[in-house]
Chains A and B, each alone.
Chain A
């Protein structure tokens, strides 16, 4: 971020999406009411979708909004209502929450020291302004020498997961 030339629109958008993402994530892990946690989760995922737009990946951003905020957010809301997690008035954290906090802070510190400090301050610019488009992504996903096999396996996985979810959640009669 080059403050010498004033705040660029990208930098302002980046800050906004950072607030959305991190604030939403903190809301997810701290809110007592799980319906609120689901809403915070949607907010955080929306911030990630904004990052995808900034990184010029518009297809992933739209899929993020459709699948994560649309489908998974609603799925979480249903799960919370079906299990009455919202009326659960017991402690929200387990007895080792301080150990978990220590582990999370240690992981963050290790990531910062090991990965980010070496590149801190260096302005790694994108190697090119021209990027591949959604058409290229579509072609890559179905062309024989690239990702057609993982693509088909992914659809198989989704089918298996859907059938499995129905079987597991079905009422025995």
Chain B
């Protein structure tokens, strides 16, 4: 293992920040979901890196990463279904056009 832990943490922090920019700045709802995927992957990378460097005999890190993966898959399925339903009603996937709940 020639790579120290802080390098993994740096990559994960950069990935999280890029994903956060995508979530905050994109107009298309599908692109926003892609940003969320990037953030979840940064979290997973952190979990596995800490598991490998600090507690490699305990399965918590990998198990948590697996559960994050499951939740991310569920989130993408439901999110894309919502986007398709909104597109069918509004003919738009721009997040700014989805203001049906606005008072």
Contacts and interface: CB of A to CB of B under 8 A. Distances in A.
Contacts of B20: 100, 103-104, 107
- Interface SS of B by simple majority: helix
B41 A85 contact: no
Contacts of A105: 17
B38 A168 contact: no
Interface in A140-154: 140-141, 146-147, 150, 154
Interface residues of A, number: 96
Given A121-B6, A124-B6, A83 B34 contact: no
State the 7 A-B residue pairs at the shortest beta-carbon distance, nearest first: A100-B24, A161-B74, A8-B2, A29-B22, A140-B59, A104-B21, A100-B25
Interface of A: 1-2, 8-11, 14, 18, 21-22, 25-26, 28-29, 34, 37-38, 41, 44-45, 48, 51-52, 54-57, 59-60, 63-64, 67-68, 71-72, 75-76, 78-80, 82-83, 85, 88, 90-94, 96-97, 99-101, 103-105, 107-108, 111-112, 115-116, 119-132, 136-137, 140-141, 146-147, 150, 154, 157-158, 160-162, 164-166, 168-169, 171
